[in-house]
Amino acid sequence: MSDANGKAEGSRTIRVDYLARVEGEGSLHLGIRDGAVEDVRLAIFEPPRFFEALLRGRGFGEAPDITSRICGICPVAYMMSAVHAMENAAGVSIAGPIRDLRRLLYCGEWIESHVLHVAMLHAPDFLGYPDAIAMARDHGEHVRRALGLKKAGNDIVRLLGGREIHPINVRVGGFYKVPTRRELSTLTEPLLRARDAARALVDRVAAFPFPEYEQDYEFVALRHPDEYPFNEGRVVSSRGIDIDVADYDSVFEEFQVPHSTALHARIRGRGSYLVGPLARYALNSDLLSPAARDAAAAVGLGPVCRNPYRSILVRAVEVLHACDEALRLIAAYTPPDAPFVAVPVQDAVGLAATEAPRGLLYHRYRIDASGSILDARIIPPTSQNQGAIEEDLRRVATACLDMPDDALQGRCEQTIRNHDPCISCAAHFLKLTVERT
C-alpha cells in the first residue's frame, strides 16, 4: 500500500505496516486529505488457512481438535463452540459436573488470555513502553505478578486439558478423563493468590490515563439467566436483539467489502456491532461475582462502559470474576459417573455460540448420517468487530488530527489493541486489495 497519487496540500498518510502486540498479522492505512480522514483500512494480511474447507469430510468428533488450531491463544473457545454445536446436532444437552468442568476450563482460558492481553500486550500502550519486557525494567514487580496470575490460568487449562495450547482432553460429549476432587483441589491455593493479584490488577489498571472517548456501540453478547456467560445463553444486544443462537443467521450476516476480501459481519439492515468484554459487561454486569462487581464499582466503571480504552479495565474485572468462578466450581465439584456421555450420530445441522475472551464465537456444521462434516461455518469475534474497530479509528483519527504523525500512529495502534483483535482467529481475513479512485 502506498500513497503515491493525488497528494493534496495538507494531506498525510499514516501507515503501520505490521501491527505489533496482536495475534496474527495486520496493518493499518489511514488516508487524510485536506484535514479530513478520508480512508481508514485495517488490513489483514494473514494468509488464508481454509478451515471451513478442510473440515469437510472430517469426522464430527474431530472438529474440536482441528478448530482449536485456528488460534493458539484461545483454543478452548474453539473446542467449546465445536463440541456444543455437535451436541446440538445430536439433540444432546450436557449438565452437571461435565458442564461445570467446561466452565472451569473456560475460566482458565479467560485468565491466561486476558492477562496476556492486559499486562503484556496492552498495558505498554498506556505506560509508554514498546513491550512488557522493557516495562519490567521499571515495573518488575507488576510484570512478575501478572506473569504469576497468567500462570494460574494456564495451570487450570493444563490440569484439565492436558496442556496450555491446544488442549487434548476435550471431546464431543465431555472429556476423555476427568480429574479427581483431590487433583482439582491443588488449584485452590494458586487461585486464591491469583484472586488477590487480579484485584490488584484492577486497581493498577484503573490508574492508567484513559483518553476521553465514547462510542455508541450496539453491544452483542450471550446472556444466561443466572450466570456470567461462557458456554450458553441467548444472543442479546443493547438495542433489543434477544434470540436463540439457532436464529443467529437470520439476524447477523457476513459480507465482503468492495476493496477487501476480508469478511465483515453486521446486523442485517442495521450495521456494525461490538462483541467482547465491553459487550459482555454491559449486558451481564449484574451476574459478576460479588467481588468482581465491587471491584468494578470501586474503580467507577458503572453498569455500562462505552470507552473502548477502558476495555482493559473490564478485562481485569473479568479476570477477577473468572478466579472467583473457578474457585466456586472447584469447591462444588463431585466427579461425574463417566467422563463423557454418548453423542449419537445423525444427519443434522448443529450450531452453537460461546464467549471467547475476545467475544462471541459462532460455529455451524452440517453432518451426514455417518458423522462426516458436510459443511462448516465459523464466525470468530474479530470478524464481527472489524467494522466497529474501523469506525473507532475514523473517529479517533478525526479527533486527534492535530497530533504529530508518530503520536497519532501510536494512538491508532492503541485504538485497535483496545479490541484485542485476534487475526489468526479470523480465518476469513485476507490481504486487502487496494483500489484507488
Helix H or strand E segment including 43: strand 36-44
Taking the C-alpha atoms of residue 23 and residue 100, their distance in angstroms, rounded to an integer, is: 29
What residues form DSSP beta bridges with 255? 264
Applying the rule CB under 8 A, the residues between 191 and 230 that interact with another protein are none
Shortest spacing between CB 47 and another protein, in angstroms = 4
- Closest Cα partner for 386 from 423, 414, 341, 345? 423
CB of 413 to another protein, least distance (A): 7
Q: Specify the residue, 311 or 424, whose C-beta has the smaller distance to another protein.
A: 424
Cα-Cα-Cα-Cα torsion 320, 321, 323, 329, nearest 10 degrees, comes to 170
- The answer to whether residue 75 forms part of the interface with another protein (CB under 8 A) is yes
Residue 81 within binding range of another protein, rule CB under 8 A: no
Is residue 17 at the binding interface for another protein, with CB under 8 A as the rule? no
For another protein, which is the closer residue by CB, 237 or 384?
384
Q: Which parts of 87-126 interact with another protein (CB under 8 A)?
A: 112, 116, 120-121, 124
Q: In the complex, what is the shortest distance from the CB of residue 228 to another protein, in angstroms, rounded to a whole number?
A: 25
Between 195 and 223, CB nearer to another protein: 195
Q: Is the torsion defined by CA of 311, 312, 314, 315 positive or negative? A: positive
Ramachandran assignment for 180, one of left (phi > 0), alpha (psi -120 to 50 degrees), beta (any other): beta
The CA distance from 299 to 158, in Å, is 32
Q: Would you say 109 or 232 has its CB closer to another protein?
A: 109
- The DSSP secondary structure of 10-32, one letter per residue, reads T-EEEEESS--SSBS-EEEEEEE
Residues 329-368 that bind another protein (CB under 8 A): 339
Which span (16-24, 237-245, 264-272, 315-323) binds another protein, by CB under 8 A? 16-24
Which residues have C-beta within 8 Å of that of residue 215, sequence separation ≥ 6? 306, 307, 308, 388, 391, 392, 395
Is 45 or 208 the residue whose CB approaches another protein more closely?
Answer: 45
Task: Tell me the window of 27-35, 142-150, 320-328, 354-362 that interacts with another protein (CB under 8 A).
Answer: 142-150
Q: Which 366-405 residues touch another protein, going by CB under 8 A? A: 375
Binding to another protein, residues 144-173 (CB under 8 A): 144, 147-148, 150-151, 154, 162-166, 168-169, 171
**Residue (of 172, 27, 23) closest to 87 by Cα position:** 172
Residues contacting 422, CB < 8 A, separation 6+: 22, 23, 24, 71, 73, 74, 358, 380, 381, 382
| Positions in 39-58 near another protein (CB under 8 A) | 46-54, 56, 58
Toward another protein, which CB reaches closer, 116 or 221? Answer: 116
